[in-house]
Amino acid sequence: MWSIPGGGVERGELLGEALIREVREETGLRLATVGPLAYLVNTTTTRYPSTVVLAFDCTDWDGEIAVHDPDGKVTGAVLLPLEEARKVLGSSSASRPEIEPLLEYLAGSVAGRVWSYRDDRPAD
């Protein structure tokens, strides 16, 4: 399964600081700057009552990409050319809130767009 780096904001940490830390922790890359907001997703799920995901377009970094995962869940790390990234994401089994906004952004949709999803599946 493919995924993009991500995580939470720790107490006392600013959003940009969390982005830089999470990318460094998970990939070894050091972001030089926090890119502009690509899109925001707000979703509700049975696991989390409300989740807000902000994705940033970061193009300025230093270092070599590698697996940095103390939990052992990540088995590889790679930077993909745009077309290959679209293909991999398009064939993903991830949920619509995880994939649809990213694919739309990579296809050229307006930066900063807000996406909202309600988990309307019947309860188990």
Domains of the chain: 15-116 (3.90.79.10)
- pLDDT, residue 121, reads 62
Nearest-angstrom CA–CA distance, 59 and 34: 9
Nearest-angstrom CA–CA distance, 33 and 114: 22
- Model confidence at 101: pLDDT above 60: yes
Within 13 Å of residue 114, how many CA atoms lie on the same side as its CB? 4
Q: How far, in whole angstroms, is CA 64 from its chain's centroid?
A: 19
- pLDDT, residue 123, reads 57
- pLDDT, residue 96, reads 83
Nearest-angstrom CA–CA distance, 107 and 87: 12
- Model confidence at 111: pLDDT above 60: yes
Nearest-angstrom CA–CA distance, 26 and 4: 9
Q: Which helix (H) or strand (E) holds 23?
A: helix 15-27
- pLDDT, residue 21, reads 92
Q: Rounded mean pLDDT of 15-36? A: 90
Structure tokens at 112: 């900063």
- Model confidence at 20: pLDDT above 90: yes
- pLDDT, residue 122, reads 59
Q: What is the pLDDT of residues 32-90, one digit of tens each?
A: 888 888 888 888 877 777 788 888 988 899 999 988 777 777 778 888 999 999 999 88
Cross-strand bridge partners of residue 40: 54, 114
- Model confidence at 1: pLDDT above 90: no
Q: What is the pTM of this model?
A: 0.78
